[in-house]
Amino acid sequence: MSPPPGSLRAAVTAALAAIAAFAALPVLPVAAQETQAVQTYPAYLAEQLAEDPVYVSDHFAGVLDLSDSRSRITAQVERLEFPMYVIVAPRLTSYGEMLDDGFLAAVHDRLGEDGVYLLLDHSGATNYALAYGVQVPLREATMEATMVPSFDYATPAPDVVERIVDNLAAGPAEAKARYERRQELYRSGADDTGDGYERDGFLAELAAELDPESSAGIRNQGLLIGAVISGLATIAGGALLHRRYRLGSAPTAPRQVRTPPSRPVTSAPSGPGNRSQRRRRAKRGRK
């Protein structure tokens, strides 16, 4: 006796649903774990900042003296009259998430404290900063630090924090004046490095960018040499192709063949008058 069609259809549907659920088991937990890890990273940093306003990631143990960096940044933060939370961490997480001002806002939401929040990598003047509940010239203070000529990709994070704190501690009017002065010097092509001498003009700036004493200068030298070699190879290849094209498309002159001049052929006209003249000559000859 065969089962009713309705019960057979229900059994097949239940079996397919069970197979689909079983196939999804290895995938769902991993994806859920990754999502949870990304979402809890701001919460983890908020917990660290609740204990210490300065967080320096252990990922930089090979490139920074972690203890010295924390001490230097802490000494700068304590100069301010308002709270400042500093995060020194890799910009790209192991989950492929970029740390930016949105991430910094998520950290603030979990910590729930007013103050200035600053996010930096282990080196370089680029940073993200947000202010909550305090009136400070944060934009001018941070932007001025990114425009200091002596700061490059190898500048340690504590040096950048010190510059930003100097600007904040100077007050709104002075911080704004410093930023405007830095902009003017930058636009005019002359800017002081902050260590006693001036860098003037494009060539001096280029020399500083190619300074072999810095890691950034060595890297820039390699990039410049590679660009020059590539450019020369491109120019040489283009010139060769142009020459071949011109030779291949040049019109060839037709070959001239000399022929000996032909002699003119003359023929006496024939007709009845000529035949009568020949007869008269023949009669004269007989006589």
179-207 per-position pLDDT tens digit: 999 999 888 876 555 443 344 444 445 65
Position 138 scores a pLDDT of 97
Pick from 85, 223, 109: which is nearest to 164 by CA? 85
> Could you give the CA distance from residue 178 to residue 167 in angstroms, rounded to a whole number?
8
Q: pTM here?
A: 0.56
Per-residue pLDDT band at 277 (split at 50, 70, 90): low
Q: Which domains does the chain have, with CATH numbers?
A: 24-209 (3.10.310), 210-241 (no CATH)
Pick from 73, 80, 79: which is nearest to 49 by CA? 73
> Could you give the CA distance from residue 262 to residue 264 in angstroms, rounded to a whole number?
6
Query: CA angle at residue 179 from 174 to 184, to 5 degrees?
Result: 125
Per-residue pLDDT band at 236 (split at 50, 70, 90): confident
Token pair belonging to 245: 């094209």
> Could you give the CA distance from residue 232 to residue 213 in angstroms, rounded to a whole number?
28
CB 145 within 8 A of CB 182: no
